[in-house]
Amino acid sequence: MKIEKTVNIFNKRARFEYELLDEYEAGIVLTGTEIKSLRSSKASITESFCQFIDNELYVVNMMIDEYKLGTFYNHKTKRERKLLMHKYELQKLKKKLNDIGNTIIPLKLYINDQGKAKLLISLAKGKKLFDKREAIKDRENKVNIQRILKKS
C-alpha cells in the first residue's frame, strides 16, 4: 500500500456545475482509519456538499474508502464529517446560504505541510443550462485558437 506525501483530491465538476463566489479553508474531524485511507488517496468529493446541522458545518456524502488493514475499527465510508472553521466564518457562510440558489461545495481535499487534512470549500451558485453551454463553447474556441496558432 503506497502512502503519498502530498494528497490532492479535486472536485473537477464543481467549476463546470457552479459559479464560485467565496472560498474558505476548513479542517476536518477524521478518525484514525479515515486519515490513513486518505493518505493513500482513497477518497472522492465529487458528489459531496456541505450543510449546517445545529449551527455546525458538516460535509455530507464524502466518500473515504475503508482502510485495507483496519479490522473492526474501520469507519463508515459515507458518514457526515464535521468541518472546523472559525465562528465568524460560519456565521458569514450561514447568512449567505440563506440567499436562493446558494450552496456550499467542496473543491479540494488535501493534507497541508503540518500533516493536517484540509478541505477547500466554496460558496457557490448553480449554473443554468445555457451558462454550461457557453462554458463549453469558450473551451472549444480556446482549443481551436491554440490549434491554429500551432500550425502557423
Cα radius of gyration rounded to whole Å, the chain? 18
Whole-number pLDDT of residue 52: 92
Q: Which domain holds residue 123?
A: 8-127
Whole-number pLDDT of residue 88: 94
In a domain, 39, yes or no: yes
CATH number at residue 14: 2.40.280.10
In a domain, 144, yes or no: no
Whole-number pLDDT of residue 2: 60
pTM to 2 decimal places: 0.79
Whole-number pLDDT of residue 132: 76
In a domain, 148, yes or no: no
Pick out the chain residues at pLDDT < 50.
none
Report the b/e string of 40-68 with b at 16+ CB within 10 A: bbbbbbeebbbeeeeeebbbebbebbebe
